[in-house]
Amino acid sequence: MNAKPKVWVARPVFPEVLDRLRQYFEVEAQAEERPRSPAELKAGLAGADAAIVGLADRIDAAVLDGNTRLKVVANLGVGHNNLDLDALTRAGVLASNTPDVLTESVADFAWALMLAAARRVGAAERWLRAGHWPGSNMRFDDWLGLDLHGRTLGILGMGRIGQGIARRASGFSMRVLYHNRTRLPEAVEQECRATLVGKPELLAQADFLVLVLPFTQANRHAIGAPELAAMKRSAVLVNVARGGIVDDAALAAALREGRLAAAGLDVFEGEPQVHPDLLALDNAVLSPHIASASEDTRRAMANLAADNVIAAFGFGDVAGQPPTPLNPVVMSHWAAGKA
Ligand code: GLV
């Protein structure tokens, strides 16, 4: 009997997902969460037929160089700017991501950040925990925040997550504007009660601006000093997309100088480092890239990554049909025996 193919799992994941993989594969799973150097990634991938990697693992031509064994890389995330898809395709490696299963949880979390930033939840909690409440003579007009209901929500990037955020807005009686490369079908616009506008209008009108666009070089600093200057001084900015879409230094300056009311940020340029100016600001609510981190969703993401690997090797219920491939052309190369 042939030996089982091998999966290298670069990040600790749920044991039951590893057990599913073990039905078909030899599994080498990393037990420890820590940054992995390009050399470690290269060595891990060199000895494997498939890999499950995290968003911090950069898989590029250098890491793939000389690897003739690897067939599949499954990313634990919907965003895949850590993968060089051209290099993977050239190397005959199928890549996959985890769309859909995280849409609603990330949309929930965008609202958590909007609410927390608008109503100063983080700063108020820090104040309470520091013991300031007793004896503070807290006034009726202390801790005033901003209302969400009745305001204008702007969404930059109107994919599945943007639409999920928009659908929730009707519960807050908010007007929804969006800007996207392409207009949504009319039925979806109606369901989301969202109106397409140009980026300048979005910046000018939004009381809450939520970023949900993928990171590309073209989107780097899509929100920088000029865009921040075009926003209302009373506006709240929320980023659940990717670090680098916002110029964090420019954002910190705008928040510090009162040119923007507040921000809720789950992602940062150069994370896990966070710009020190942001750390010093009470009107920024900061979380460590956890928008998809609900119990159910993280399990679903890990299972979807495993499904892609299992199916790509012709195992399981959907053998030969990985559910969420990013470069499916690779499979036709396999079929033609070119890979
Ligand atoms: C999280 O950032 C993801 O892309 O899934």
Q: Is residue 293 exposed (0-12), middle (13-18) or buried (19+ Cβ within 10 Å)?
A: middle
Catalytic residue (one of 11, 151, 275, 289): 289
Q: What ligand 1 atom has the least distance to the C-alpha of 79?
A: 4
Question: Nearest residue CA, atom 3 of ligand 1?
Answer: 77
**In this structure, are residues 309 and 5 in contact, taking their beta carbons and an 8 Å threshold?**
no
Handedness of CA 254, 255, 259, 260 (dihedral sign): positive
Protein residue whose Cα sits closest to atom 5 of ligand 1? 77
Residue 336 is predicted with a pLDDT of 87
The alpha helices in the chain, defined as continuous H runs, are 15-22, 38-46, 61-64, 85-90, 103-118, 121-129, 160-168, 186-192, 199-205, 225-229, 248-256, 276-279, 295-312, 329-335
Tokens of 254: 């705008």
Nearest CA to ligand 1 atom 1: 77
**Nearest ligand 1 atom, CA 267:** 2
Tell me how far the alpha carbon of residue 292 lies from the centroid of ligand 1, in angstroms.
Answer: 7
> How confident is the model at residue 272, as a pLDDT?
96
Secondary structure class of 112 (helix, strand, coil): helix
Mean pLDDT along residues 147-175: 98
Distance (Å) from CA 305 to ligand 1 centroid: 13
Tell how far the Cα of 78 is from the centroid of ligand 1, in angstroms.
5
Prediction pTM value: 0.96
> Whole-angstrom Cα distance, residue 114 to residue 148?
8
125 is catalytic: no
Probe ligand 1: pick from 245, 292, 304, 326, max atoms within 8 Å of CB? 292
Atom of ligand 1 minimally distant from the CA of 301? 5
What pLDDT, on a 0 to 100 scale, did the predictor assign at position 1? 54
**Residue 242 designated active-site:** yes
The Cα–Cα gap between 304 and 97 comes to 8
Single out the catalytic residue among 11, 104, 271, 298: 271
Mutate to test the pocket of ligand 1, among 55, 245, 289 (most ligand atoms within 8 A of CB): 55
Question: What is the rounded average pLDDT for all residues in the chain?
Answer: 97
Q: For residue 124, is pLDDT > 80?
A: yes
- Tell me the average pLDDT across 253-282: 98
74's CB contacts (< 8 A; 6+ apart) are 50, 51, 52, 53, 95, 96, 305, 306, 308, 309
Q: Which domains does the chain have, with CATH numbers?
A: 6-100+295-335 (3.40.50.720), 103-286 (3.40.50.720)
Asked whether the beta carbons of 110 and 210 are under 8 A apart, the reply is yes
224-255 pLDDT per residue, tens: 999 999 999 999 999 999 999 999 999 999 99
DSSP 194: E
Nearest to 226 by CA among 254, 196, 198: 254
The per-residue pLDDT for 89 is: 98
State the Cα–Cα distance between residues 174 and 193, nearest whole angstrom.
Answer: 9
Ligand 1 pocket: which residues have CB below 6 Å?
A: 55, 77-79, 102, 292
Q: Return phi, psi of residue 135, to 5°.
A: 80, 5
* Residue 223: strand pairing partners: 246
Q: State both tokens at 50.
A: 């498939």
pLDDT band at 338 (very low <50, low <70, confident <90, very high): low
Protein residue with least CA distance to atom 4, ligand 1: 79
- Please report where in the chains the tokens 């928009």 appear, as a residue: 166
pLDDT of residue 339: 45
Mutate to test the pocket of ligand 1, among 11, 80, 102 (most ligand atoms within 8 A of CB): 102
Q: Of all atoms in ligand 1, which is nearest to the CA of residue 76?
A: 5
Q: 25-71: per-residue pLDDT in tens? A: 999 999 999 999 999 999 999 999 999 999 999 999 999 999 999 99
Question: Which DSSP category does 5 fall into?
Answer: P
Average the pLDDT over 70-77 and give the result: 98
Average pLDDT on 268-281 reads 97
> 279 to each of 126, 263, 275, how far by Cα in Å?
13, 12, 7
Ligand 1 atom closest to residue 289's alpha carbon, by position in its atom list: 2
Examine the residue annotation and report whether 90 is marked as an active-site residue of this protein: no
Query: Which amino acid belongs to residue 221?
Result: H
d(CA 275, CA 206): 25
Mean pLDDT for 78-86 is 97
